[in-house]
Amino acid sequence: MQISDLPVHHKIISRLQDKSFDTLTEIQEKTILPAMSGKDIIASSQTGSGKTLAFLIPLVNRLLSQKALSKKDPRAMILAPTRELAKQVFTEAKSLTSQLNLPCALIVGGENYNTQTKVLRKSPAIVVGTAGRIADHLEDKTFFLNGLEMLVFDEADRMLDLGFAPQLNLINQYADHRKRQTMLFSATLDNLALQHISKALLKAPVRINVGLATAIHQDISQHMYFADNVEHKNMLLTQCLGDTDYNQAIVFTATREDTNRICDMLNEDNLHAVALRGDLPQNQRAQIMSEFSRGQHSILVTTDVASRGLDLLKVGLVINFDLPKQSDEYIHRIGRTGRAGQKGTAISFVGPRDWQSFESIKAHVDYPVACEAHPESPAEFSGKKPKKPAKQKTHDKPSEKTAESKKPAAPAKKRVNTTAGKDVGDMPIVRKKRQADFDDDE
């Protein structure tokens, strides 16, 4: 379906065509029309499918075509699980609404609280932020949501995984009125916690499921190689970066310490790497992502802080130096490549400590996953054998011979209870009779 075929405001079509956006993706085609009719939406799609525009287009169209419920309150709010994803959505929203008199505000943790208060008092039409910081401002009555027209939960499953359910419920209560429209996007709709909270957030939603997240991604070539230890992984990392064609690459690690160590190791080889960790100040994290997205660095070494939502079209290679503990995170990690119809490669190293994660991934996805020895640097490790189930004791009847050979157990001796006494003070004392002594001669 062409963007020009959509019954949306002509200024939106003009803005999208200026960005050379002509054809809708499947999730956009299935989401935009029901959303424009005012229905609540709960949707799931693979990473890189274009869901950001799937909710931004109907959101902006509603704000342009309908009268505001309130002059002071925000008209739309978009919640994201991480600061990086929130900033990316904010950039897209700001680009789509430029010159449309729909000011946007970014409210995330790690930024100056008082500065955000001043921004919110200017009555922005669209607020993009993280659930924790938004909830703080609502409790402090910095702003109100009585006139909120549209509420969007992006990557809702991730927000629940991070423990933001109380904040999501709080935001829902502050914006609880019958004219509010809600859109919820998630990597999967099978999450029990998501199903529970969606009943409170949504009213008779339209369910949209485009391509299972666990299905194979046709644009991503996946490889898994055995590794013996950290030193072996270092060697494999260098070889894979040298053997694979890519514009930019992301290397995922398990710990913040490894992030710095690997970054330093790659820079010693003049590979132009930069490290991103969750404990960095927000302004530093934003600067790193901005530099990487502009192509100033070839390799981003990071933890799972960059595993979701980031739309980096130049990333042609993803390497899992360590496999994630959660199988869902593997899908989101490799989804940083192969976006918007481009081809990508995902390589994972599987050592003894990664084996349990490998088994979880293999059981989670809907396609065969195999691990092999690297052709140039094979490992001695080749997987762990599954543990044999413990033998269960049988309760069969003993044979007659066995029964006869067994002697009956001796009765247990009765122990004397030394703690139980008997009061004998009122009992008569009987003198023992004397026995007469007789000689043997008598």
The residue with tokens 């978009």 is: 78
More confident residue, 278 or 29: 29
What is the 3-class SS of 271-325, one letter each residue?
A: CCEEEECCCCCHHHHHHHHHHHHCCCCCEEEECHHHCCCCCCCCEEEEEECCCCC
pLDDT tier at 300, thresholds 50, 70, 90: very high
**Domains of the chain by residue range:** 3-210, 220-364
| 122 C-beta neighbours (distance < 10 Å), count | 10
Residue 248, classified by CB atoms within 10 Å of its CB into exposed (0-12), middle (13-18) or buried (19+), is buried
Mean pLDDT of all residues in 182-196: 83
2-39 in b/e burial notation, b at 16+ Cβ within 10 A? ebeebebbeebbebbeeeeeeebbbbbbbbbbbbbeeb
Predicted confidence (pLDDT) at residue 154 exceeds the cutoff of 50: yes
Alpha-carbon distance of 366 to 363, in angstroms, equals 8
For residues 341 and 38, what is the distance between their CA atoms, to the nearest angstrom? 30
Q: Does domain 220-364 have CATH number 3.40.50.300?
A: yes
Cα–Cα distance for residue pair 307/47, rounded to 1 Å: 10
* Alpha helix ranges (H) inside 80-164: 83-96, 113-120, 131-139, 156-161
pLDDT bracket for residue 357 (50, 70, 90) = very high
Q: What is the mean pLDDT of residues 192-208?
A: 89
Helices (H), 140-229: 156-161, 165-174, 192-201
Residue 158 has a pLDDT of 85
Question: What are the residues facing 250 on neighbouring strands?
Answer: 300, 318
Kindly state the helix (H) or strand (E) to which residue 151 belongs, with its residue range.
Answer: strand 150-153
Rounded mean pLDDT, 171-191: 87
**Cβ neighbourhood burial of 230 (10 Å; 0-12, 13-18, 19+):** middle
Mean pLDDT, rounded, for 168-196? 87
Distances 197 to 165, 169, 216 between C-alpha atoms, Å: 8, 8, 28
Which sign, positive or negative, has the C-alpha torsion 160, 163, 169, 174? negative
Task: State yes or no: pLDDT of 440 exceeds 50.
Answer: no
Give the whole-angstrom CA distance, residue 102 versus residue 95. 11
* Residue in the block written with tokens 């003070």: 425
Superfamily of domain 3-210: P-loop containing nucleotide triphosphate hydrolases (3.40.50.300)
**pLDDT value of position 393:** 56
Band of the pLDDT at 137, cuts 50, 70, 90? Answer: very high
Unique residue bearing structure tokens 């062409």: 2
Domains 3-210 and 220-364 share a fold: yes
- What residue has token string 């994660």? 357
Mean pLDDT of the chain: 85
Best CA proximity match to 83, nearest among 306, 328, 336 = 306
Q: In the predicted model, what is the mean pLDDT of residues 337-348? A: 85
Percent of the chain residues topping a pLDDT of 70 = 84
Q: Residues 347, 162, 47, CA angle at the centre, nearest 5°?
A: 40
* Rounded mean pLDDT, 172-193: 86
Return the H-helix or E-strand segment holding 150: strand 150-153
| Amino acid 3: pLDDT | 81
- Give the whole-angstrom CA distance, residue 332 versus residue 434: 101
Which tokens belong to 326? 């959660």
pLDDT of residue 282: 78
Query: Across the strands, what pairs with 207?
Result: 42
Q: Which carries the bigger pLDDT value, residue 43 or residue 193?
A: 43
Do 161 and 83 meet the contact criterion of CB atoms below 8 Å apart? Answer: no
Task: Say whether pLDDT at 61 is over 80.
Answer: yes
Q: What is the pLDDT of residues 23-53, one digit of tens each?
A: 888 889 999 999 999 999 999 876 667 889 9
Residue 122 has pLDDT above 90, yes or no: yes
Model confidence pLDDT, tens digit, residues 208-254: 988 666 667 788 899 999 999 999 999 999 999 999 989 999 999 98
Place of tokens 């992030």: 259
The tens digit of pLDDT for each residue in 404-436 reads 555 565 665 555 555 555 555 555 666 666 665
Instruction: For the beta carbon of residue 170, count every other beta carbon within 10 angstroms.
Output: 16
pLDDT over 80 (residue 330): yes
Q: d(Cα 232, Cα 348) in Å, to the nearest integer?
A: 13
pTM (global) more than 0.85: no
Which pLDDT belongs to residue 442? 42
Contacts of 178 (CB under 8 A, 6+ apart): none
